[in-house]
Amino acid sequence: MARRVGHGRALGLDYRGSGENWMELALPWREELVGVPATGILASGAIVSLIDTASGGSVWMALGRFVPIVTLDLRIDYMRPALKSETVIARCECVKLTRQIAFVSGVAHGGDPDRPIARSASTFMLSS
């Protein structure tokens, strides 16, 4: 689904895997996604979309079904830039579900999770 609709399609997101409460997506580096042409550094907006999509996917995995959800809050702490030709991988995990709210944490990296590009914390409202 990530590659077929909305931002996922426009960005060319790749599905990498999922489990009981997590999802992993990848954002391949492309020239049109560059935010700093002189350096080839990927635009932060593309990384935000990647993390938001993987976070929402982790909520659906935790629920075990698709229901409409809305991002209430998405905090991203950037640790370093996504460099030229670097595929960014986001792995997000739904860490808690309540009746109406899902809590998610995530990390984006360029292939080495111990060298993150960004870390995220987000909340989603669940449709009742």
How is the chain split into domains, by residue range? 6-126
CATH 3.40.50.880 matches 6-126: no
| Residues in the chain, total | 128
pLDDT at position 7, please?
Answer: 74
Using DSSP's 3-state secondary structure scheme, residue 85 falls into coil
The 10s digit of each residue's pLDDT in 18-61 is 999 999 999 999 999 999 899 999 999 999 999 999 999 999 99
Query: What's the CA gap between 59 and 62, in Å, rounded?
Result: 5
C-beta of residue 112 within 8 angstroms of C-beta of residue 69: no
The 10s digit of each residue's pLDDT in 81-103 is 999 999 999 999 999 999 999 99
pLDDT at position 5, please?
Answer: 57
Q: Which pTM value belongs to this model? A: 0.94
